């Protein structure tokens, strides 16, 4: 229960149970990672939260410090010795509460720390796992918890005046693009970032338009429209599974060969890499990011792109797609095909800095001031590229940059790469 | 009359130390390596052979930070490497050390460096190692992270270095007393080894390889 | 010989000029790092004075120390020490035997009570009620205790009397003790070595005879003049040690080139004696120069410390002279197995816990 009103004693026992749970659930890989850290502090030098604030508490491995302690105390080889001699005290509720800020407000799960560790520890993966324990301890941030609970129950993170299905139909009508819903026997199942439904309907239309151009059978499924997984953000593993299972079941139901992930980084991580493990076996369909899919279609000649006459551009690689997901060249292939003059940022591709909004951070209100500080790094790099148009590959990144635009009075407006592709589709070849 | 210190240090004390070392290291490693291993059900981006090879390759590539990180972090890492190399040179290329290792393992001794060169390297290494502690104490990040393990391991390692230098220089007491103290400090280090961060000697390459393979499986950079 | 003649008279009788004697004394004081002017003073003092009484007792020994004391290659000087002192009792040299010799000792002790120099070599056994070493029906221990009463100083010559030596080594079947283990109330100077270098014995004796003072001693009560530096610090092969050039066997190229013998078990670094400087047989050679590592014979427990043919930095495990590999492999194997059991138990407990949680 994420109830903030529960008394101290219940909170203590909840925390104890959660930490024990964490320690006892830990597998060989995570244990190995926790064992290997030599406290060199290099991970801090990769993290935009540390770089922006020079505050050592944002050192990535420090974020999992209570969990290292719990592991050593409860589950490591010498755990009995640690306990008997009191070498590692039990983690207290107060201590863990302080860590909520570190694990949720100041981490986007961007994985830059995992790239720098000289021992090769995947620090971001440890933070992700620590979030599970925080959730069990009732310490997931309110906003994420509420949205996760709502989404696992209803399919939408939040109630809306009009259900998303109706909003989707509306977008189709507005842009004059057919957006099939609940068709069966399709090649590709689509889903959509709810950020797009709410803020960037043109991106949804772009998706439909591109699929129409490809001539591939596709559909949305009303029971699983949303790409984001708030269970994943909140650290609620069971809810993450429930939310992913919606999409999986719908994809199976319509016999889709491909589940297409739209412009949303964390959705890709949740579905491409984590869903199968939650499902328990290999998924009976492929999971592909839209840029991946389109780059493939381009190579096969099914996607025909004309030149986009907009001059120079800069591009924000979504961390989950690029650094953590292996989708680096696909967007560049598409940009090249459109004849774009891409000006790479100083830290680009897999070393790109996070937009600051991922991992649920953009939903946490109290995290905003800190988020803005980290975005300064990003905005400076984008400005330094002298790219005219600023493109993103993820609608949450886009939303985060729009927020920054308002806050900093920034002169650039983030655009969607997919929308640009949709605008640059070449007319179909005349039949021979 | 009881056994003299030197015979104790390189006899029963060494035996106990080596015993504790092996018991502790194997216990600690198996203690986590035999925990549950989660099967990955997602589709890998490439074949097993390919991503395992990339993982193995990562054992080398992670030895130095990626160029984008070097500016912030290169100096610290260079400091770390230099004293490690100094230590390895002193341990493996000094006559009495080689005599010890080859005698213990029954293998053929290899060529060594002149002892005066080793002394020079040892002095430089000890100085760098003192610098390492200074860095740990003055960096806010490292001060936050550091615990008993970090400082005690530093202390034990420095003790071995300093007692070795004192023995070589015949500084402060009779040679056999100094040698006994030096060997006892090595015994202490062996006993401490499984319980502290020195275990990274066993962890570092498998960790880079394993985590590297997992990243490469996703097509992610290592 | 007329025991009341002065030393000077004795020397002149033997054809030793005053000049020659002064040279000898100067050489001796220099070897002991005493000021050279003391040489002339020593010569003066010795010439004038009556010869001090010396009682030499030999117990559980091999007579090597006495032989060393006797050895001299320069024809007269060391030998003449016997004319400088009045060797009133020595069971090897003296002509008398049996009751006559015992009464000679009693007389000398009585006549010079409180003044005589007592030299002891060999260890003193206390096992079997002292029956392991007796002379004239009296045990060594009783003899020593008696003789010590009237001694001005006791010189424990040789490692046996200084530290117990070889009889003292494990299992010490005769329950042997050094002089310092039997006598506690008299000044003892240990002149250790197996045997000690002749000049070390005579030099120590001479200094005491001349000055009446006990020389500066180290923590083992050995004269620092001769035992203050290790063999290693004075060894002519030290540059090879420093250069890391070691002989690995007794007949390899390194050995033939005279390289350092550290890896062949030389105890030079932990042995304090004058072998590397004074050498043996009038400065001819010493063990290392002859190609064999120092055994450390002037140090306490040198026999039990072992590793005579293995470098001092090696592990002391398994049997002497054998490679440590086999005992190490067995031991390490056992330790690894023990660790594996503990590791499996610990991980097993973890897995069991996970299984229990899953069932719930």
Question: Which of A367-371, B25-29, B98-102, C19-23 has the weakest average pLDDT?
Answer: C19-23
Task: Give the 3-state secondary structure of residue C272.
Answer: strand
pLDDT tier for residue B173 given thresholds of 50, 70 and 90: confident
Identify the residue among A22, A40, A259 best suited for mutation to test binding to B, counting B beta carbons within 10 A and taking the highest: A40
A326 and B210: CB-CB below 8 Å? no
Domains parsed from chain A with CATH numbers: 8-140 (1.10.1060), 145-299 (no CATH), 312-423 (no CATH)
pLDDT in tens, A22-62: 887 889 999 999 999 999 999 999 999 999 999 999 999 99
The residue ranking higher by pLDDT, A96 or C123, is C123
What's the pLDDT at C76?
44
B175 and C230: CB-CB below 8 Å? yes
pLDDT in tens, B32-66: 999 989 888 999 999 999 999 999 999 999 989 99
Nearest chain A residue (CA) to C347 = A77
- C-alpha of A73 from chain center: 32
pLDDT in tens, A101-126: 999 999 999 999 999 999 999 999 99
pLDDT in tens, C79-115: 555 666 777 777 776 666 778 878 888 888 888 898 8
Q: What average pLDDT does the segment A175-191 reach?
A: 93
Strand pairing category for A389-392 and C188-191: unpaired
Q: How far is C333 from chain A (nearest CA, A)?
A: 20
A114 and B150: CB-CB below 8 Å? no
What are the distances in angstroms from CA A39 to CA A106, A184, A384, B136? Answer: 20, 54, 34, 9
Low-confidence ranges of chain C (pLDDT < 50): 1-2, 73-77
Say which residue the tokens 């045997």 belong to.
C195
C347 and B99: CB-CB below 8 Å? no
C244 and B21: CB-CB below 8 Å? no
B26 and C243: CB-CB below 8 Å? no
C305 and B96: CB-CB below 8 Å? no
Residue C359, burial from CB neighbour count under 10 angstroms (0-12, 13-18, 19+) = exposed
Structure tokens at A282: 């290999």
pLDDT tier for residue A92 given thresholds of 50, 70 and 90: confident
Say which residue the tokens 């275990």 belong to.
B199
What's the pLDDT at C30?
78
What's the pLDDT at C75?
36
Nearest chain A residue (CA) to B27 = A77
The count of other CB atoms within 10 Å of the CB of residue C242 is 17
What's the pLDDT at C2?
45
SS3 letters across C167-205: HHCCCCCCCEECHHHHCCCCCEEEECCCCCCHHHHHHHH
Domains parsed from chain B with CATH numbers: 5-31+44-217 (1.20.950)
What's the pLDDT at B69?
92
Question: Which of A257-266, A369-378, B102-111, C188-197 has the weakest average pLDDT?
Answer: B102-111
First CA to last CA distance, chain C: 108
Selecting from A62, A324, A347 the residue whose C-beta is nearest the C-beta of B220 gives A324
- Is the pTM here over 0.95, yes or no? no
Query: Which chain A residues are Cβ-neighbours of B30 within 8 angstroms?
Result: 77
In chain C, CATH 3.40.50.700 sits at: 51-227
pLDDT tier for residue A432 given thresholds of 50, 70 and 90: very low
What are the distances in angstroms from CA A363 to CA A143, A146, A399, C316? Answer: 7, 11, 11, 66
Q: Name every residue whose Cβ is closer than 8 Å to that of residue C202 and which is 6 or more positions away in sequence.
A: C28, C69, C78, C81
Backbone φ and ψ for C54, nearest 5 degrees, come out as -125, 130
Q: How far is A116 from chain B (nearest CA, A)?
A: 6
Q: Is the pLDDT of residue A428 over 80?
A: no
In this prediction the ipTM stands at: 0.93
Give the Cα separation of B114 and B93 in Å (integer): 9
Q: Please, which residues bridge with residue A305 across strands?
A: A425
In chain C, CATH 4.10.480.10 sits at: 231-304
Question: Regarding the domain delimited by C231-304, which CATH topology (the fold level of the hierarchy) does it fall under?
Answer: Cytochrome-c3 Hydrogenase; Chain A, domain 2 (4.10.480)
Structure tokens at A239: 């809810």
The residues in B 146-205 lying below 8 A from C, measured between CB atoms, are 170, 174-176, 179, 183
> A123-136 vs A8-25: helix axis angle to the nearest 10?
140
Give the Cα separation of A396 and A408 in Å (integer): 18
What's the pLDDT at C95?
63
Task: Give the 3-state secondary structure of residue A371.
Answer: helix
What's the pLDDT at A368?
94
A24 and C357: CB-CB below 8 Å? yes
CATH number assigned to the domain covering C51-227: 3.40.50.700
The residue ranking higher by pLDDT, A63 or C71, is A63
Neighbours of chain B (3+ CB pairs under 8 A): A, C
Share of chain A above pLDDT 90, in %: 83
Query: Which chain B residues are Cβ-neighbours of C168 within 8 angstroms?
Result: 1
Say yes or no: C239 contacts chain B, CB-CB below 8 A. no
pLDDT tier for residue B125 given thresholds of 50, 70 and 90: very high
A24 and C350: CB-CB below 8 Å? yes
B221 and A115: CB-CB below 8 Å? yes
A24 and C353: CB-CB below 8 Å? yes
Q: What average pLDDT does the segment A360-369 reach?
A: 94
Neighbours of chain C (3+ CB pairs under 8 A): A, B
pLDDT in tens, A192-203: 999 999 999 999
Query: Which chain B residues are Cβ-neighbours of C339 within 8 angstroms?
Result: 22-27, 30
Structure tokens at A277: 């493990």
Q: What average pLDDT does the segment B172-187 reach?
A: 92
Q: Where are the alpha helices (DSSP H) in chain C?
A: 7-13, 18-31, 37-48, 64-70, 77-84, 98-111, 140-149, 159-163, 165-168, 179-182, 198-211, 224-227, 231-234, 238-243, 253-256, 302-305, 325-359
Task: Give the 3-state secondary structure of residue C317.
Answer: coil
Question: Which of A30-39, A233-242, B111-120, C2-11 has the weakest average pLDDT?
Answer: C2-11
Say yes or no: C343 contacts chain A, CB-CB below 8 A. yes
Say yes or no: C354 contacts chain A, CB-CB below 8 A. yes
């Amino acid at each position: 229960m994420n109830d903030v009103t529960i008394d101290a004693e219940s909170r203590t026992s909840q925390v104890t149970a959660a930490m024990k749970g964490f320690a006892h659930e830990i597998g060989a890989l995570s244990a190995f990672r926790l064992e290997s850290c030599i406290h060199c502090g290099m991970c801090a030098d990769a993290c935009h939260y540390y770089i922006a604030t020079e505050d050592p508490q944002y050192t990535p491995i420090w974020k999992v410090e209570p969990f290292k302690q719990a592991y050593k105390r409860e589950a490591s080889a010498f755990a009995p010795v640690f306990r008997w001699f009191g070498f590692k005290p039990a983690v207290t509720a107060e201590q863990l509460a302080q860590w909520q800020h570190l694990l949720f407000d100041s981490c986007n799960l961007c994985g830059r720390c995992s790239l720098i560790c000289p021992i090769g520890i995947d620090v971001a993966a440890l933070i992700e796992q620590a979030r599970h324990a925080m959730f069990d301890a009732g310490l997931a941030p309110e906003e994420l918890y509420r949205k996760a609970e709502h989404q696992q129950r209803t399919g939408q993170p939040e109630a809306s005046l009009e259900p998303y299905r109706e909003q989707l139909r509306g977008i189709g009508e507005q842009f004059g693009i057919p957006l099939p819903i609940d068709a069966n026997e399709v090649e590709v199942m689509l889903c959509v970032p709810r950020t797009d439904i709410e803020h960037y309907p043109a991106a949804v239309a772009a998706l439909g338009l591109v699929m129409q151009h490809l001539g591939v059978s596709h559909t949305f499924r009303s029971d699983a429209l949303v790409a984001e997984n708030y269970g994943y953000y909140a650290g609620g593993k069971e809810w993450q599974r429930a939310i992913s299972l919606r999409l999986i079941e719908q994809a199976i139901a319509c016999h889709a060969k491909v589940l297409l992930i739209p412009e949303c980084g964390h959705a890709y991580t949740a579905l491409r890499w984590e869903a199968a493990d939650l499902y328990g076996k290999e998924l009976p369909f492929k999971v592909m990011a839209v840029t991946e899919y389109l780059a493939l279609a381009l190579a096969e000649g099914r996607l025909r792109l004309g030149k986009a006459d907009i001059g120079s551009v800069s591009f924000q690689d979504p961390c989950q797609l690029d650094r953590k997901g292996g989708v680096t060249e696909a967007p560049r292939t598409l940009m090249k095909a459109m004849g774009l003059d891409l000006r790479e940022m100083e830290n680009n591709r897999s070393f790109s800095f996070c937009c600051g909004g991922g991992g649920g951070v953009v939903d946490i209100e109290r995290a905003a001031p800190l988020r803005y500080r980290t975005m300064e790094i990003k905005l400076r790099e984008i400005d330094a590229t002298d790219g005219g148009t600023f493109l993103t590959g993820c609608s949450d990144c886009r939303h985060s940059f729009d927020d920054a635009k308002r806050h900093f009075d920034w002169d650039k407006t983030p655009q969607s790469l997919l929308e640009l592709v949709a605008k640059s589709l070449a007319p179909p070849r005349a039949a021979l | 009359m009881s056994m003299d210190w030197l015979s104790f240090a390189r006899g029963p004390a060494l035996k106990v130390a080596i015993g504790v070392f092996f018991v502790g290291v194997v216990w600690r490693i198996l203690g986590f390596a035999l925990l549950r291993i989660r099967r990955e059900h997602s589709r890998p981006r490439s074949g097993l052979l390919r991503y395992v090879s990339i993982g193995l390759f990562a054992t080398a590539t992670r030895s130095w930070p990626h160029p984008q990180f070097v500016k912030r972090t290169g100096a610290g890492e260079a400091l770390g490497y230099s004293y490690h190399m100094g230590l390895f040179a002193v341990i493996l290329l000094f006559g009495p050390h080689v005599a010890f290792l080859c005698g213990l393992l029954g293998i053929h001794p290899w060529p060594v460096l002149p002892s005066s060169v080793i002394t020079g390297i040892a002095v430089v290494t000890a100085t760098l190692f003192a610098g390492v502690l200074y860095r740990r104490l003055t960096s806010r990040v490292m001060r936050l992270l550091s615990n008993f393990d970090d400082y005690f391991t530093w202390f034990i390692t420095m003790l071995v270095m300093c007692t070795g230098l004192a023995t070589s220089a015949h500084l402060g007491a009779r040679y056999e007393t100094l040698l006994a103290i030096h060997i006892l400090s090595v015994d202490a280090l062996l006993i401490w080894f499984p319980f502290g961060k020195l275990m990274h000697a066993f962890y570092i390459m498998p960790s880079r390889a394993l985590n590297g393979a997992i990243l490469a499986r996703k097509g992610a950079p290592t | 010989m007329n025991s009341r003649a002065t030393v000077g008279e004795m020397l002149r009788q033997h054809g030793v000029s005053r000049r020659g004697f002064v040279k000898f004394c100067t050489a001796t004081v220099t070897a002991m790092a005493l000021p050279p002017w003391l040489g002339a003073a020593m010569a003066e003092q010795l010439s004038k004075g009556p010869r001090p009484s010396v009682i030499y007792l030999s117990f559980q020994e091999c007579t090597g120390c006495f032989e060393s004391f006797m050895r001299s290659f320069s024809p007269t000087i060391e030998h003449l020490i016997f004319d400088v002192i009045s060797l009133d009792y020595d069971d090897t040299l003296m002509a008398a035997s049996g009751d006559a010799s015992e009464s000679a000792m009693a007389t000398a002790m009585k006549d010079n009570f409180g003044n005589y120099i007592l030299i002891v070599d060999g260890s003193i056994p206390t096992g079997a009620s002292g029956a392991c070493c007796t002379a004239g029906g009296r045990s060594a221990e009783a003899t020593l205790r008696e003789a010590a009463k009237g001694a001005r100083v006791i010189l424990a010559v040789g490692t046996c009397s200084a530290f117990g030596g070889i009889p003292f080594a494990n299992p010490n079947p005769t329950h042997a003790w050094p002089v310092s283990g039997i006598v506690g109330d008299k000044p003892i100077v240990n002149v250790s070595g197996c045997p000690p270098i002749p000049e070390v014995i005579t030099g120590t004796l001479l200094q005491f005879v001349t000055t009446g003072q006990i020389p500066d001693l180290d923590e083992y009560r050995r004269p620092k003049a001769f035992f203050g530096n290790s063999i290693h610090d004075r060894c002519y092969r030290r540059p090879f040690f420093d250069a890391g050039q070691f002989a690995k066997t007794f007949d390899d190229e390194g050995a033939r080139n005279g390289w350092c013998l550290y890896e062949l078990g030389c105890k030079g670094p932990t042995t304090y004696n004058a072998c590397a400087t004074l050498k043996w047989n009038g400065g001819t050679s010493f063990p290392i120069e002859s190609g064999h590592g120092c055994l450390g014979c002037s140090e306490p427990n040198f026999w039990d410390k072992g590793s005579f043919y293995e470098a001092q930095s090696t592990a002391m495990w398994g049997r002497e002279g054998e490679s440590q590999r086999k005992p190490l492999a067995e031991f390490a194997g056992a330790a690894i197995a023990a660790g594996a059991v503990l590791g499996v138990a610990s991980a097993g407990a973890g897995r069991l816990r996970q299984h229990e949680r899953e069932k719930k």
